[in-house]
Structure 1
C-alpha cells in the first residue's frame, strides 16, 4: 500500500494553523482551564497523602477531605502570620504615596537641571508610556483577579480529581492501544513523580528564600521586611525572571521610607548573594526536578505563559513544558524536540561529527559513510 507523501510547505502550513487554533482555544478558555490546571497540580501533590491515609484505614472521601483541609490550614496559617504586616502596609499606603510623589518631583527637577528637559515634557512622556502599558497591565491584573474569583472552585476540582483518579487513569490507558500500555504507564508514572518533586521542591525553596530575604531586609532596617521577603520568595518561583522582579519592591520601599542610598545598595548586594546561594545550593539540592529545562526555553515559556494566561500562565508554564518533555522523550519522532527542551548540551553538533566520521572513512578506503549518534 502506497502512502502519499505531502510536500513540506503543506505539512508546515497545517501544523502552523493547528498551533494557532490551539493557542486561540487556550486563550479563550483561560478562565476555565487555569483553575483546572492548578487543581491538577494540587491533586498530584496531595495524592501521596491521600494514599497514606487510605492505607491506614481512613475511607476514601474522608482521606481526600483531610488532605485538602491540611493544605487549606497551611495556606491560612501563612496568611494569618502575615496579617499584621499586611495591615500595617495597607495603613501606610497614603504616607508612602505622598513620599513617592516628593521623590518624583525631585527627580523631575534633577532631570531639568542636568538635561534641560522641561517638566511638562517629562510628565507628557511618562503619561504616554503609562498609556502604552495600560493594556498589558490591565490584562495581567484582570487575569489575576479572574483566578482569585474562582479560587474557591479549586478545592472542589481537587476533590473531584482525587475522587475520580481511577476513572481518569483507566480512560488514559484505554485511549491508547494495548501495545502502548507499558509506555503510557511509564509516562504517567514519571510525570507524577516529576510534578510532585517539582512542587515539593519549590515549596521548600520558597520557605528558605523567604527566611533569607526577610532576615536580610530586617537587618538592613527595611520596613515590612517579612512581608516583602515572602513576596520576593513567591516571585522567585518564576525561573530567571522572578528574582529580578522581586528586588524592585524592597528597593522602592527603602527609597520611599529611608534617606540616602546605602540601604538600596545593601539590598542589591544581599539579594545577589541570596540568588547565588539559591541557584547553586538550594535549587539543585531541594527542587531535584527530574526533567531539567534549559534556561532559554524556561525564559521563553514564562513570557509565552504571561501572554497567554497572565500571571497564572507564568507559574504554570514550566511544569507544562516539563510534562511535554517527558512525552517527547518517549516518542521516537519527537525525541529531537525533547532534547531541544532539555539542558544537556552536546560537545559538538551532528554536522561536525558527520564530517569527521566521513573523512575518517575516506582515509581508510571504505566507501560507507557512518553518521554517529
Structure 2
C-alpha cells in the first residue's frame, strides 16, 4: 500500500469517526453547539458593555436577558397572529372531514374495504392515549433539559471565553499561535456575520412577503409573511415549505386560482430579490457555501441531529470553511466548499457598487 493511499484511508476513517461521535454524542454536543453559536453572536455586545466598566458577570447576564427578551417577543408576535388563523379552525375542520370522507369512499370503491373495516384497522394501529402521553411528556422533558443546557453553555462560554481562548493557544505551537488567534477571530466573526446577516435578511423578507401578500388580498397576510420569512433559517427547504403551507391554507379557505397564482408570483419575486441582492449584501462571501455543499450539509445535519442539525448546518459549515482556508493542508477543501465569485460578471460589479454606496466593505 502506498503512502498516499494510507493517508486517504486514514482521512476517511477519521471522517467517519467524527460523524459517528457527533451522532451518538448528540445529547452532549447539540446544546453545546447551539449555546456556543449564540454566545459568539453576543460577543460584540458583551465586549462593549465590559469596555464601559460593566462587571463581566452582569454583562453576561444582560446578554442572556436580551436573548430571552427577543425570543419572548418573537413567540408573543407569532402567538398573537396564530390566534387569527385559529379563529378559522371550524372551516379547516370541515375541509379535513370532507377530505377524510373522500379518501374513505375512494378506498371503498377501489379496494373494497368498508368504512367499518377502515375504522377497525385505524383503531388497531392507533397508539393508546397512555403511550401518547408518555411520548409527549418525554419530548417536553427533553426540550426543557436542552433549554437549560443551552442557557448554561451560553452563560459559561461567554464568561470564560478568554480562558478557553488561552487554553486553545497553549495547545498550539508558539510559532503558530498568531495564525490560531486569527482563525479563532474569524470563526467568531463568521458566526456573527451569518446570524446577524440572516436576521436582517429575514426582516427584509417579512416586509416583502407582507407587501406582496397584502397586495394580492391574502387573508392573514402578516402571519404568512412571518411564517415564510422565518422558515428561511432552513435554506432551500424552508422557503418552499412556507409558501406551500400558505398556498394550502389559502386553498382550504376557498382561494381562487388568481390568489394562488399571486402567492406563487410573490414567492418568485421575493426569491429573485433575495438571491441576487439580499444574500450577497447581507451574508457576504465568507459564509457563502456553494449550493452542492449547502444541500450536503443540510442532509448530513438532518441525519445527525434532526431539525436542529438542519438549522446549525450552514453556520457550522461556514466555520469549517474558515478553518480549511487557514490550514495549508486543508485549503483545497475550503476551495471545494466555497462559492465561486466571477469577478468579471455584471452581477459581481453591481453588488460591489451597491456595497460601496451603502458603506459595506
Report the equivalent of 1:300: 296
Aligned length: 325
How far 1:71 sits from its partner (Å)?
A: 1.9
Aligned match for 1:206, one of 187, 202, 206:
202
Question: Which consecutive residues of structure 2, in runs of 5 or more, have no partner in the other structure?
Answer: 126-137, 344-361
Report the equivalent of 1:137: none
In structure 1, C-alpha distance between the alignment counterparts of 2:142 and 2:244, rounded to whole Å: 25
Report the equivalent of 1:264: 260
Tell me the TM-score normalized by structure 2. Answer: 0.80
Distance change (3 Å), C-alpha of 1:167 and 1:259: closer
In structure 2, C-alpha distance between the alignment counterparts of 1:15 and 1:251, rounded to whole Å: 46
Distance change (3 Å), C-alpha of 1:341 and 1:268: same
Residue range with higher mean Cα deviation, 230-239 or 14-23: 14-23
What secondary structure, in the 3-state scheme, does the structure 1 residue paired with 2:183 have? helix
Report the equivalent of 1:99: 95
What secondary structure, in the 3-state scheme, does the structure 2 residue paired with 1:293 have? coil
How far 1:303 sits from its partner (Å)?
A: 1.4
Q: How does 1:8-27 map to 2 (within 5 A)?
A: 8-27=4-23
Report the equivalent of 2:28: 32
The answer to whether structure 1 residue 252 and structure 2 residue 240 are counterparts is no
Structure index of larger Rg: 1
Q: RMSD of aligned C-alpha atoms?
A: 3.2
Q: How does 1:19-98 map to 2 (within 5 A)?
A: 19-90=15-86, 92-93=88-89, 95-98=91-94
Question: Which consecutive residues of structure 1, in runs of 5 or more, have no partner in the other structure?
Answer: 132-141, 348-373
Report the equivalent of 2:178: 182
What secondary structure, in the 3-state scheme, does the structure 2 residue paired with 1:222 have? coil
How far 1:177 sits from its partner (Å)?
A: 0.6
How far 1:321 sits from its partner (Å)?
A: 1.1
Report the equivalent of 2:356: none
Distance change (3 Å), C-alpha of 1:9 and 1:302: same
How far 1:196 sits from its partner (Å)?
A: 0.9
In structure 1, C-alpha distance between the alignment counterparts of 2:326 and 2:91, rounded to whole Å: 58
Report the equivalent of 1:337: 333
Residue range with higher mean Cα deviation, 9-18 or 335-344: 9-18
Does the CA contact (< 8 Å) of 2:285 and 2:339 recur in 1? no
Report the equivalent of 1:154: 150
In structure 2, C-alpha distance between the alignment counterparts of 1:273 and 1:104, rounded to whole Å: 35
Aligned match for 2:225, one of 229, 234, 241:
229
In structure 2, C-alpha distance between the alignment counterparts of 1:220 and 1:144, rounded to whole Å: 40
Does the CA contact (< 8 Å) of 1:143 and 1:310 recur in 2? no
Does the CA contact (< 8 Å) of 1:30 and 1:309 recur in 2? yes
Report the equivalent of 1:216: 212
How far 1:277 sits from its partner (Å)?
A: 1.0
How far 1:119 sits from its partner (Å)?
A: 8.6
The answer to whether structure 1 residue 279 and structure 2 residue 275 are counterparts is yes
Does the CA contact (< 8 Å) of 1:143 and 1:312 recur in 2? no
Report the equivalent of 1:135: none
How far 1:259 sits from its partner (Å)?
A: 4.2
In structure 2, C-alpha distance between the alignment counterparts of 1:227 and 1:145, rounded to whole Å: 29
What secondary structure, in the 3-state scheme, does the structure 2 residue paired with 1:57 have? coil
